[in-house]
Amino acid sequence: MKIKFLIGMLLFSFLITSCKEESKNVEANSETKEALATSSEATSSDSFNFNVEQFADIKVLRYQVPGWEDLTLKEQKLVYYLTKAGLSGRDISWDQNYRHNLTIRKALENVYTSYDGDKSTDDWSNFETYLKRVWFSNGIHHHYSNAKLPANFTSEYLSELLAATNTKLEGEAFDVIFNDKDPKKVNQAKGVDNVLMSAVNLYGPDVTNADVETFYGNMKSPDPKKPLSYGLNSQLVKENGELKERVYKSGGLYGSAIDEIVKWLELAQGVAENDAQGNALGLLISYYKSGDLQTWDDYNVAWTAATDGNIDYINSFIEVYNDPLGYRGSYETVVQIKDFDMSKKMAVLSENAQWFEDNSPLMEEHKKKNVVGVTYKVVNVAGEAGDASPSTPIGVNLPNANWIRAEVGSKSVSLGNIIHAYNNAGSSGRLKEFVNDDEEYELEKKYGQLGDKLHTALHEVIGHASGQLNPGVGETKETLKNYASTLEEGRADLVGLYYLYNPKLQELGLVEDWKSLGMAAFDGYIRNGLMTQLIRLELGDDVEESHMRNRQWVSAWAFEKGAADNVIEKITRDGKTYYNINDYEKLHELFGQLLRETQRIKSEGDFAAVEALVEGYGVKVDQDLHKEILERNKQFTSAPYSGFVNPVITPKTNDAGEIEGFTLEQPKTFKEQMLEYSKNYNFLPEVN
């Protein structure tokens, strides 16, 4: 499970991150500064330009790679091979996102690189912006809202460009850019057939919710206590009226790209740091070759146990957010260099995981009696691809299988250099506009960044690892269906919130003033959940993305349940809305009550309860408030979404072709990297 955009969510991070960008006096905390001292590219943030460019609602950033030059040549080779493996599967995510994405991208790129006509017009500017948005989203649907991207130029103009560059784009692939077909990549709305109404290419265009539930309802795992992740690595289609899986594997769907991934993984296995890491890579290779889900589980067990060494990675079909029913994994990779100093400082959380479980407000029957194998590390990203790029998580907890978490454990990582880049990428000025008073502003300035890091850690290490299902209750994706992801993310958020306002953090030496830090964290969460995340929506839209939904239903539920005691007060001043927390102790109690209920829902598989919670609090938007927030935000030029280009790792070889070293350089522009990726990692046909 991943955290997108800061704090067990990177949506939350957007506002909090933007807030801290607003003041030049707000510095990274000391641990981050210490990590930066090892960077091969800069010794301070002041001398590194994090910003690449901004367009539409997107800001493209760079990140540093602290610790790169401290690696041995063998370790650098491992990073290089893993990065190449990840990029080799890049086009898989494009095709998974929508069936026409590769056709459209290749046509648009050919126009972009070949057209020699007038580029001073608004039409050309709009075409260029559209292509950049498509690059950023890995397809024609917005990376976060899932809505189809507007072209802002006419079909006639595109036809002119195609003709002028001798480029072919026709039929449905051309028309869909301009018509109202396939408007949502993922449609999570209530009362519709979510699979049928989602454009994502994880299912054939005529497959329905009922088809999916029937198909997988008939599948039984060899060991019911260790259920296989059916559907994770395949596309479900109808052939001659019968349902059939097209498995992602060598010789199967996406086989040409998977063979390239395997080639680089085999090189990585040859320079593994230790036997455990090498054995895990071997199982991953076997999984890619066979597509066998038992091998996938064997790999995850081995990967979870392989905790030694300086390098780690995430690679394969993993997160299920793009599947409206939560079965199929999106391709993604993250290559990581461990930050041992920061990891040591934060290891206290995983070491005390059982204390957090024992002292949580969960019902006793829902608590784990033995929390095992939770490892937490801060890492520095060296490369990302697929669903993790350009829009990246800032924290990840894997594996996702509940039985592996319970029996073996999990790995939690916080992407330290990514968080640092967000926090130092410039000023947005939004904080003063949306805080209620100076006290809230000062708390955020002083404790916000540390609160972000701790919430990310608590969300991933303690949150996702906590709780257990009742005996006989099926996997969450089966019981809670299209609400499974938002329930799980909200549950983990609530664990983090509950313990951020707790003296245990100070007792463990993680904070100097637990109460002030907790107050700042509560302020930021409520401010974002009830107001500022609405900046990301078009006026009139419902909330559909799972993380946005969870932040809203957590905040709105707490606001409503605390109304009698005025726990959170809605204030109108000079025509502007603010939310002020009057009683942090009672809000802490409310978060505990909601955490207890969300765990009950998960443990019992209570679909009616999760539907009522999410639909009642997490979907609908106060349109008057939304309009106000958008108007107040117009004064700020900083885009609400951010993502990254990746540093380029290039081998230096001797006359015999042997690698003697590497250079690590930053790309100058977003388009430079996108075009280079399309040229060098083009291993799939347009139609798969």
Q: What DSSP string runs through 132-152?
A: HHHHHHTSSB-TTT-BBPP--
The answer on 669 and 618 residing in a single domain is no
Q: Can you give the length of the chain in residues? A: 688
* Prior bond of 685 cis (ω within 30°): no
Q: Which residues pair with 376 in a beta bridge?
A: 412
Residue keyed to tokens 């090189």: 267
pLDDT at 341: 79
Is 381 inside any structural domain? yes
Q: How far is CA 296 from the centre of its chain?
A: 21
Is 327 inside any structural domain? no
pLDDT at 649: 98
Q: How many domains does the chain have?
A: 2
The C-alpha angle with vertex 289 and arms to 235 and 297, in degrees rounded to 5, equals: 75
Pair 418, 644: CB distance under 8 Å: yes
The answer on 96 and 23 residing in a single domain is no
pLDDT at 438: 95
The answer on 501 and 361 residing in a single domain is yes
pLDDT at 267: 98
User: Residue 284: enclosing H or E segment and its boundaries?
Assistant: helix 275-290
How far apart are the C-alpha atoms of 102 and 104, rounded to whole Å? 5
The answer on 495 and 394 residing in a single domain is yes
Q: What is the domain extent for residue 671? A: 85-185+650-680
The answer on 136 and 46 residing in a single domain is no
222 dihedral zone (left: phi>0; alpha: psi -120 to 50; beta): alpha
Q: What are phi and psi of 236, to 5 degrees?
A: -100, 120
Q: What is the mean pLDDT of each run of 10 residues along the chain (688 residues)?
A: 45 31 26 28 62 96 95 98 98 98 98 98 98 98 95 98 98 98 95 96 97 95 95 97 97 98 98 98 98 98 95 97 96 94 83 95 95 86 98 92 91 91 76 95 92 88 92 92 94 97 96 97 96 92 92 98 97 97 98 98 97 97 96 89 97 96 96 98 97
pLDDT at 122: 98
Is 471 inside any structural domain? yes
Pair 165, 115: CB distance under 8 Å: yes
Is 20 inside any structural domain? yes
The answer on 572 and 465 residing in a single domain is yes
Between the alpha carbon of residue 292 and those of residues 231, 268, 297, the distances in Å are: 11, 21, 9
Is 148 inside any structural domain? yes
Is 251 inside any structural domain? no
Q: In the numeric block, which tokens belong to residue 565?
A: 């005691």
How far apart are the C-alpha atoms of 369 and 356, rounded to whole Å? 12
The answer on 448 and 578 residing in a single domain is yes
Pair 288, 253: CB distance under 8 Å: no
How far apart are the C-alpha atoms of 435 and 526, rounded to whole Å? 11
The answer on 111 and 28 residing in a single domain is no
Residue 664 half-sphere exposure toward CB, CA atoms < 13 A? 24
How far apart are the C-alpha atoms of 520 and 511, rounded to whole Å? 13
The answer on 57 and 124 residing in a single domain is no
The answer on 475 and 601 residing in a single domain is yes
Pair 184, 146: CB distance under 8 Å: yes
Residue type, 257: A
User: Residue 235: enclosing H or E segment and its boundaries?
Assistant: strand 234-239
* Prior bond of 640 cis (ω within 30°): no
The answer on 149 and 109 residing in a single domain is yes
Is 73 inside any structural domain? no
116 dihedral zone (left: phi>0; alpha: psi -120 to 50; beta): alpha
Bridge-based pairing of strands 410-415 and 374-386 is parallel
Q: In the numeric block, which tokens belong to residue 232?
A: 């994770």
State whether residue 655 is helix, strand or coil: coil
Report pTM: 0.83
- Residue 564's CB: how many other CB atoms inside 10 A? 7
pLDDT at 428: 54
Is 539 inside any structural domain? yes
The answer on 40 and 8 residing in a single domain is yes
DSSP letters for 385-414: EETTSSS-EEEEEE---HHHHHHT-EEEEE
State whether residue 669 is helix, strand or coil: coil
How far apart are the C-alpha atoms of 96 and 93, rounded to whole Å? 5
- Residue 388's CB: how many other CB atoms inside 10 A? 28
